[in-house]
Amino acid sequence: MKTALKARSAKSASTKTTKRSATPLRFAHPFFTTTPIAQRTPVPGVGTSLMAHIQGNLETVPAVKGKSVMQLADVIGAQASADIAASGSIKFHSTGDTGKGADTPQGDVANAMSTDFDASKPHTASPACFFHLGDVIYGPGKDNAYRGEFYEPYVHYPGKIIAIPGNHDGEVFPKSDPTTLKAFQANFCAASQTVPPIAGTIFRQTMNQPGVYWWLSAPFVDIVAMYSNAAENPGFISGTIPGQAQKNWLIQTLQTIAAARKTGPRKALVMATHHPPFTAGGHSPSTQMLADIDGACTTAKIMPDLYLSGHAHSYQRYTRELNFNGKALQIPYIVAGTGGINDQAIVAGNGVKTGDHIFVKSLQGYGYLLIAAQGDAHGNATTLTSTMFQVNITTKQKSQYDQVTVNLANSTVR
């Protein structure tokens, strides 16, 4: 598999450097035009749209190793997982777009997250883990960057860290990173949890995820996390180059979760991609990706209760309102690319509805999500709450900025 990926990456890098037009183009953006796509003269080597160029330069998605589902026990141990189940609730952290360093806003956010742990109450008062929403490392030389941009910033963070890769984790640099996702896989998809040499005296083990997309089955919550590929904009979970394996896996996974609800507990369903389906600033929304995901949800007859993304370096919350299988749903879609990389300007959430989603709230700055699922004695989740904590990088203090709760009995938010 690694050999195939290296060949693909080398080929794409070579192709990117040799494509050229017979004559100079008027604009660096070749489709800066009002001419409809069907009437455009194709750009040599690209086609008639920027989307064709993007889709032609995506990366192959590595296959998962064995089963793509991991139990919470695989991450934190069987006893800890059982203790969380017995407590009646589960909490986890989430944010994305870090890759900066310890003495930066990334370190400030990491330190603020650490204050949510209580060593005297490790299961009832502490988060189960930290779910990173992608863009762990930026730029070339990722193998060597993990020390300064990952292990050092989280040196005092006591929780395990699971992750999906972002576009920067998947980007290819022919000299330093010729194979897409190599460094990410070494640190998050290792054969076992072990302290890697690059961590040195910092005790943080690698993760043993089955791949770059996965399903985490935990008490009261299922997390279905996908890799939305290496393009700056937009994101994709399938296509000619990525293939259909991840989308087919998504359908099968959602069908399994839907079937389990009929015979077992009704857990909360959290879905995530690095690229956001909706965004009002920093990056563009990924509409084709959302159509793929909606199609999988329709086939499996199940929708997420909460959707998480990063990519845009801001906090944004949307409420999506739709009728699904004869039931009115309200689903929070949250962008939390606030983990420490340079923040981006964002317009204020104004309550305006566009299509099927309402732009509720936004923040330019740094922070993280604390997500909690409350359960009953039968293992059913009753509510799912996402709280956004803003971290002031001057005072190093955190404060609650936003909160949304989904009542899972009737799929309404408050």
Question: pLDDT tens, 371-389?
Answer: 999 999 999 999 999 999 9
Q: Which residues contact 116 (CB under 8 A, 6 or more apart)?
A: 91, 93, 126, 127, 370
Question: Do residues 74 and 9 share a domain?
Answer: no
Burial 252-279 (b: 16+ CB within 10 A, else e): ebbeebbeeeeeeebbbbbbbbbbbbbb
Query: Which pLDDT band, with edges at 50, 70 and 90, does 20 fall under?
Result: low
Question: Do residues 196 and 314 share a domain?
Answer: yes
Q: Which of 32-36, 153-157, 181-185, 250-254 has the lowest mean pLDDT?
A: 32-36
Question: Do residues 127 and 169 share a domain?
Answer: yes
Domain boundary residue among 57, 75, 105? Answer: 57
Question: Do residues 9 and 92 share a domain?
Answer: no
Question: Do residues 257 and 350 share a domain?
Answer: yes
Per-residue model confidence (pLDDT) at position 131: 99
Question: Do residues 317 and 374 share a domain?
Answer: yes
Question: Do residues 157 and 179 share a domain?
Answer: yes
Give pTM, 2 decimals: 0.94
Question: Do residues 46 and 104 share a domain?
Answer: no
Question: Do residues 119 and 237 share a domain?
Answer: yes
Calpha distance 29→46 (Å, rounded):
12
Calpha distance 115→218 (Å, rounded):
23
Please give the sequence-ordered ranges of beta strands (E in DSSP) within 254-413, or none if there are none.
268-272, 306-309, 315-324, 327-336, 353-354, 357-363, 367-375, 381-391, 398-407, 412-413
Query: Which pLDDT band, with edges at 50, 70 and 90, does 255 fall under?
Result: very high
Instruction: Encode pLDDT of 103-132 as tens digits.
Output: 999 999 999 999 999 999 988 889 999 999
The H-or-E segment that residue 217 falls in is: strand 214-218
Instruction: Encode pLDDT of 385-401 as tens digits.
Output: 999 999 999 999 999 99
**pLDDT surpasses 50 at 6:** no
Per-residue model confidence (pLDDT) at position 223: 98
Question: Do residues 88 and 157 share a domain?
Answer: yes
Closest listed residue to residue 283, CA positions, set 309, 311, 315: 311
Whichever domain contains 247, its CATH number is 3.60.21.10
Question: Do residues 44 and 75 share a domain?
Answer: no
Domain boundary residue among 57, 74, 89? Answer: 57
CB 250 within 8 A of CB 294: no
Calpha distance 282→271 (Å, rounded):
21
Which domain covers residue 305, as residue numbers? 61-413
Question: Do residues 29 and 165 share a domain?
Answer: no
Tally of structural domains, the chain: 2
Instruction: Encode pLDDT of 280-320 as tens digits.
Output: 987 889 999 999 999 999 999 999 999 999 999 999 999 99
Domain boundary residue among 57, 77, 104? Answer: 57
Q: What is the DSSP letter of 43?
A: B
